[in-house]
Amino acid sequence: MAEIKEQNVEPEVQESILTVTPLAATKIQELFTQRGLDSTYALRVFVAGGGCSGMQYGMAFEANPQETDTIVETKGLKLVIDPTSLMYVQGAVIDFVDALVGGGFRIDNPNAVSSCGCGSSFKPKNSEGTTTSEGGCSSCSH
């Protein structure tokens, strides 16, 4: 009989895909509760073209994640990210700013070379680390 050796293998630590601050997690949970959504729903975080900086962030409630989606569970939340959006939001932090003017969800994204003043749109780097388009965000008109 072959001898089975036990190996003590540490799991690989991966870079955080998406982080949610405690205040943002609380606000997201409140939205789920207000809409009567149970734990079968997730929050889809995505990126689309547009916005005053070139790309804009979006969030929506998701009942049926796709097989190709990445699912992140953090602070009691389930986040769903499609493969294309994942390229743009990897390592980002979702926060909530409680302010009379300009408050709401903001995303601090290490993949952005510039961001809109309100934090809802950004200009991404391309694969060489340079900007994908010229220009910038002169005003928030998302």
- 80 SS3 class: strand
Residue 121's pLDDT is 57
CA distance 68 to 60: 17
Looking at residue 68, its amino acid is T
Cα separation, 53 vs 38, whole angstroms: 35
pTM of the predicted protein model: 0.70
Give the integer Cα–Cα distance in Å for 54 and 122: 6
pLDDT tens track for 7-62: 444 333 334 789 999 999 999 999 999 999 988 899 999 988 776 667 788 999 99
Domain map (residue ranges) of the chain: 18-124
The yes or no reply on domain 18-124 and CATH 2.60.300.12 is yes
